[in-house]
Structure 1
Amino acid sequence: MIKLKTQINDMALSLETGRLAKQSNGAILASLGETVVLVTAVTSGKTREGIDYLPLMVDYQERFYGSGRIPGNYFRREIGRPSEKETLTSRLIDRPLRPRFPKGYALDTQIIATVLSEDAEVDPDVVAITAASAALCVSDIPFDGPIAGVRVGRVDGGFIVNPTRTQLSNSDLNIIVAGTRNTIIMVEGWSAVLSEQEVLDAIFFGQESLKPLLDLQDELIEKSGKPKITVPEPDVDIDFTKKVREIAEEKLLAAIQIPFKVERNEGIRRLKAEVWEALAEEYPGREQEISDCMKILEKDLMRNLIIKEKRRIDGRTFEEVRPISCSVGELPRTHGSAVFTRGETQVLAVATLGSSEDEQRIESPGGQQYKHFMLHYNFTPYSVGEVRPLRGPARRDIGHGVLAERALAGVIPPADDFSYTIRIVADVLESNGSSSMATVCGGSLAMMDAGIPIRDMVAGVAMGLIKENDDIIILSDILGDEDHMGDMDFKVAGTEEGIAALQMDIKISGISRDILGKALMQARDARRFILSKMKEVIDHPRKDLSQYAPKIITLNINPDKIRDLIGPGGKNIRAIIAETGVKIDVNDSGEVNIFSSSAEAAEDAIKRIKALTKEPEIGEIYVGTVKKIMDFGAFVEIMPGTDGLVHISQLENRHVKNVKDVVAEGDEVRVKVIGIDQQGRIKLSRRAAMNDE
């Protein structure tokens, strides 16, 4: 067993190998504070034939026992699909690892990260990134490591590496950075609309902070690393490849420059069939190889077109954004809707308002949390002309939705100022690159259409990169083909003033500060252009909510009256909800929010609530019920749960010797409030009420 330690943000981080999960190819037990993560790396040892992708699976799972809790479901165990947090963290671990595998590696490989103990102050996600790299590094699986990951926060203007959750709650940015000693591989996070320079400084502060983690892994490799499996070079039939090129190159160059996606894909499909027909007799049964050769050729031609001829396949300049069109108020019965179209990417976004009862409840090992703003992204099969069954959201859908949600979360009004739960649904109607950023744009427009008082308009754009030796080209608003055949997908969302959220993935070994800085500045120009087009349609939230949105009426009651409103076992409040059709939310301070689409129903509910919670006022006359007879007077209930004393001297205009001569328990009597003492005890008078008749 080998265990090594270093310090991160005044906490000990340790990596241990050789004691647990020894039948895996590589296993690391990583800890930071009291957070402990076990990460294993396993390969099947079998090569997957005929694939053009890396067969890597990454799964992150949190155990409830890690925070001393038992799952709240019927079975009391972790079951079903991964939580949103688990899905997002699986993607977070996967993305910086994937570019570091050797080209042509085709062995089924699985990384499993299991949270065994969770410190309330330490998020396991960045621990798992570093541990996954370490597990691959000590294994015999080919991997160009080490890499490491850290989180960067900023409190009072100072950057913090791996901030605690308490520190993060006061931070104006939350960015995860993964990379090597000299390059950045992956970035993801949000900021409170900070400038490009501030975000860039944060990213490279994070990159500098990786060094102790990389040193630790280098020492671990030296002490326990295994010899790596040899990855055979793929066999290349040079003559066959040459013939495919001779037949296809000129026509393929013309085909990839067809400006429209559907026609372009159809032209390439027809050309593949033509090449296959030409070579079928000489090379029978090699249709897949023809397709593979043409994919490589297509990539080479597209990249050469950009680097050598300075042209993109759709004819745009490097900085040019595709044509944009926007519309709002598309759907009459919804609370707010928008269609955002950029080139051949189109998103329908719909905003819906609800009550606090509609908040999303999230159960996790760390406890229950509630979200009053949600964004759900749906990537439809017809958006790319495909036929496939409709299932639940895929990992990609969840990841894209959360990225767009983070971009918009910073402009959502606080719950104290706007008591609605907000849900945005984004349906991708067409896709040719950057549908997640189109979702940001559409969501912003839909919320303005709904009358939600967002603080600013937000837009997003995806940036690309083509890098060949010293040739470096940054592309604004990339197409799907530019994403697939390029070297970077860098999504940046924000307002005119700065960045709200960003996510970067690359397919090369890493990028420098200069490239990243230039990409951020070029993204700013593109974002501002997109915002200008959006503002031509709507430039501020509508003054009024939709007539179909629930109206919120807020009452304030004495906190001592909450129990009267709720009633025994919730009887009173459930009756009001059932009989009026409204939704009611009561907080501990006595604030009562009534949600209803009908003004009449809301008014009815208000009357009922006031009747149950009304405070007695001096001078008011009530018809009450005698609850108890005493020698010195009678206790009369004037409102549910509220009674006062009618002293014997206040029963009649004459002298009364015996209370029972005037009233009996259960009698209804008119009484007047004549006083309330400092303890809240109510003094009543039947005599004064009789005199006022």
Structure 2
Amino acid sequence: MFNVVKKSMQWGDETLTLETGKIARQADGSVVATLGETSVHAAVTFAKEAKPGQDFFPLTVHYQEKYYAAGKVPGGFFKREARPTEKETLTARLIDRPIRPLFAPGFKNEVLVMCTVLSHDLVNDPDIVAMIAASAALTLSGVPFMGPIAGCRVGYAGGEYILNPDVEDMHDLRSNPEQRLDLVVAGTKDAVMMVESEAYELSEEEMLGAVQFGHEQLKPVIDLIVELAEEAAKEPFDYTPPDYTALYEKVKKLGEERMRAAFAIRDKQERTKAIAAAREAIKAELSEEEQADENLGDALKKLESEILRGDIVNGGLRIDGRDLKTVRPIEAEVGLLPRTHGSALFTRGETQALVVTTLGTGEDEQIIDALHGNFRSNFLLHYNFPPYSVGEVGRVGPPGRREIGHGKLAWRALQAVLPPATEFPYTIRLVSEITESNGSSSMATVCGSSLSMMDAGVPIKAPVAGVAMGLILESDGRFAVLTDILGDEDHLGDMDFKVAGTEKGITSLQMDIKVSGITPEIMRQALEQAKEGRLHILREMSKAISGVGQFSVHAPRIETMTVPTDKIREVIGSGGKVIREIVETSGAKVDINDDGLIKIASANPEAIEKAREMILSIVAEPEEGKVYRGKVVKLVDFGAFVNFFGKRDGLVHVSQITDRRLGHPSEVLKEGQEVWVKLLGFDDRGKVRLSMKAVDQETGEEIEGAGGDEGPKGGGRRRSRRKEGAEG
């Protein structure tokens, strides 16, 4: 019934298996990839005809994690998978970016790639497995795809690169100081196509070494996909790239001069209008048949691309007049918004980010329900890109894939400099509002976020800056690397290479390639040029704020204390009764974790201190030899019980009340009276022995030589009577 083809190889510490022919046989391409016990199914389908008038390539990539893959039931009321999680969206982008440039030029048939996680062993991350499965399914489908590609994850610990580290090791690099890198590399056998990373101040050489290591490790996987395709691939789809040479030559003849004049305008909005006008003027001079040609858009774009690229490669000057290495003018300002905890406005050329910092408590942490378990995040970064930022009218809705991806890139860039939660126990939320955009708004978000956190008083280890690099790569091998690219240079160029970091090193790297890959030589030059740009931007940022600013008066104050884990239950109380009483009485927020770390938050320092005292009264232990202020709670024949330490009572034996002999403690004491007591020690049953006569009752100062160890060492009536009987 099934015509199953299966190929396997040893890859690192695990076995990688690709299988086709059993599942989803009606799809154009279907592969189940398994690494260890993590399995992902990828299905590819594509339309056999393009829609009339289609002027873009409609590729859609979906990645979905099924909770059953890890033996879990989804949370929430509906108990089923709902909208894509952040991880699913980011992984879909991770797969899309390296495969999109490898479809045949001019191919505009709709393509759907669906990756579904079927099994997760909680060791091997399914995102890499999904990328491999998607590449294999595309290769088998017959769609005009110039792959295959493969991907892998690279770690860096102890000076060594690690292939596909375990999920647990990469879950939170902030809590794993030995692991300094989480990098995903994807590429063909000949070149790198995509890089995505979170790093902890790696040098340019260390980062380049990681990329090259990853590229070498993914090559055997490409060979495995080719082996599978040799036995199971479908016949290639009959597709011939359109030849619009004649149309292009006419467009160039009619419009080159107009288009070149439009690109000479340095203001973005004016240039955009002039380019649109040039396009319309060219169309007006074409015949009706030529105007209706579905390749006209490609011909116009090719003309724009050749003008921009030719000027840069031949003359070294860009459309805004800069040379290849110059960063656009920078303006940075902090403290714009009076009621926020921190704010910054970062402007680079015509790209601008308004970033606001909000500091919250443990209650504000984000609870994330993932396949490998639930966890909390105390650092959030949200990126918004409204239509007005590029002078357009458009619909405004929930964050799209691009906004989620750009926000995560900035999040990764800042992870390395955040203070430990034990030193700064706040939840940090950053919101970047992109108010203008002409290239690299994600890197403006990184710069603005650093400034905003410093303005809020967050003790980051060092400021972080980011810069986007571009590439013009000609067929004859000539190339130019561009620092701080514009939107047009991104749109018409061959690479978007974003680098963020501190003065010491790189904290994040993201690379997308629109050609068939780049060489190590180009990447090395891009990294060095990016370092120069990053250091320049950091110097400009320091003009706005050079160190951590004052803590906002509007932000909550949080203090921490640690209690023994065996005392956690006492602090919480039955059904949370005790901790609720602490919150209600003190007015402070109190949060306690499983390790005994308690966070006390309030804008009022007195409320924090009150809550601290109440907690200490529950968990602290009195110290032998110390003097305490207490209150008499009960008088008995043999002494007085005094509440001296939280809810702790102790006995002052009648012989320890005063130096003179007393018939009954009531001769000098009454219930409710405040007294000074010294803790003499504990008896063999753990009961407390106190002394009043060892302390000056006026000043509370200990009297040298007084008190001693007289009287019974027991804590109650029974032991006292036993001694009296022995004496009689």
Matching of residue 215 in structure 1 with residue 220 in structure 2: no
Query: How far does the alpha carbon of each residue in 1:12-35 deviate from its partner, in whole angstroms, 9 at most, with x for none?
Result: 111111111111111111111111
Structure 1 unpaired stretches of 5+: none
Distance 1:180 1:459 in 2: 31
Instruction: Answer yes or no: is the 8 Å Cα contact 1:384–1:430 preserved in 2.
Output: yes
Instruction: Answer yes or no: is the 8 Å Cα contact 1:152–1:160 preserved in 2.
Output: yes
- Cross-structure match for 1:32: 35
Change (3 A) 1:422 1:246: same
Instruction: Give the partner amino acid of 1:392.
Output: P
Distance 1:536 1:632 in 2: 74
Instruction: Give the partner amino acid of 1:681.
Output: G
Change (3 A) 1:241 1:192: closer
- Cross-structure match for 1:6: 9
Distance 1:476 1:57 in 2: 31
Change (3 A) 1:46 1:582: farther
Pick the aligned partner of 1:402 from 408, 418, 430: 408
1:612 Cα offset (Å):
5.0
- Cross-structure match for 1:341: 347
Choose 1 or 2 for highest CA Rg: 2
Distance 1:680 1:512 in 2: 77
Point out the more displaced range, 609-618 or 86-95.
Answer: 609-618
Q: What is the TM-score with the length of structure 2 in the denominator? A: 0.86
Instruction: Give the partner amino acid of 1:233.
Output: P
Distance 1:175 1:494 in 2: 15
Distance 2:117 2:517 in 1: 28
1:405 Cα offset (Å):
0.9
Pick the aligned partner of 1:103 from 74, 83, 105: 105
Query: How far does the alpha carbon of each residue in 1:165-221 deviate from its partner, in whole angstroms, 9 at most, with x for none?
Result: 355553222211111222111111122211111111111111111221011111101
Instruction: Answer yes or no: is the 8 Å Cα contact 2:681–2:689 preserved in 1.
Output: no
Distance 1:312 1:560 in 2: 66
Instruction: Give the partner amino acid of 1:88.
Output: L
Distance 2:320 2:695 in 1: 91
- Cross-structure match for 1:230: 238
1:47 Cα offset (Å):
1.3
Structure 2 unpaired stretches of 5+: 171-175, 699-728
Instruction: Give the partner amino acid of 2:560.
Output: T
Instruction: Answer yes or no: is the 8 Å Cα contact 1:276–1:287 preserved in 2.
Output: no
Distance 2:241 2:359 in 1: 57
Q: Quick one: percent identity of the two aligned structures?
A: 47
- Cross-structure match for 1:130: 132
Change (3 A) 1:681 1:23: same
- Cross-structure match for 2:503: 496
The 5 Å alignment of 1:259-658 reads 259-279=266-286, 286=292, 292-469=298-475, 470-542=477-549, 544-557=550-563, 561-578=567-584, 580-588=586-594, 590-610=596-616, 612=618, 615-616=621-622, 619-620=627-628, 622-623=630-631, 642-644=648-650
Instruction: Give the partner amino acid of 2:260.
Output: L
1:296 Cα offset (Å):
2.6
Matched position secondary structure for 1:154: strand
1:558 Cα offset (Å):
5.8
- Cross-structure match for 2:717: none
Distance 2:273 2:594 in 1: 63
Matched position secondary structure for 1:192: strand
Distance 1:231 1:287 in 2: 18
Matched position secondary structure for 2:138: helix
Distance 1:15 1:284 in 2: 47
1:511 Cα offset (Å):
1.1
Change (3 A) 1:197 1:408: same
Instruction: Answer yes or no: is the 8 Å Cα contact 2:244–2:295 preserved in 1.
Output: no
Change (3 A) 1:512 1:555: closer
Query: How far does the alpha carbon of each residue in 1:382-415 deviate from its partner, in whole angstroms, 9 at most, with x for none?
Result: 1011222322211111111111111111011111
Distance 2:360 2:556 in 1: 7
Matched position secondary structure for 1:503: strand
Change (3 A) 1:668 1:72: farther
Matched position secondary structure for 2:48: strand
Count of residue correspondences: 680
1:651 Cα offset (Å):
11
Point out the more displaced range, 316-325 or 617-626.
Answer: 617-626
Distance 1:216 1:690 in 2: 84
- Cross-structure match for 1:187: 195
Pick the aligned partner of 1:154 from 156, 163, 170: 156
Distance 2:578 2:393 in 1: 52
- Cross-structure match for 1:61: 64
Q: What value does the CA root-mean-square deviation take over the aligned residues?
A: 3.1
- Cross-structure match for 2:122: 120
Change (3 A) 1:75 1:678: farther
Change (3 A) 1:625 1:327: same
Change (3 A) 1:57 1:632: farther
Change (3 A) 1:590 1:181: closer
Change (3 A) 1:588 1:220: closer
Q: What is the TM-score with the length of structure 1 in the denominator? A: 0.90
Instruction: Give the partner amino acid of 2:686.
Output: R
Matched position secondary structure for 1:210: helix
Distance 1:21 1:679 in 2: 75
Instruction: Give the partner amino acid of 2:18.
Output: L
Pick the aligned partner of 1:197 from 202, 205, 208: 205
Matched position secondary structure for 2:53: coil
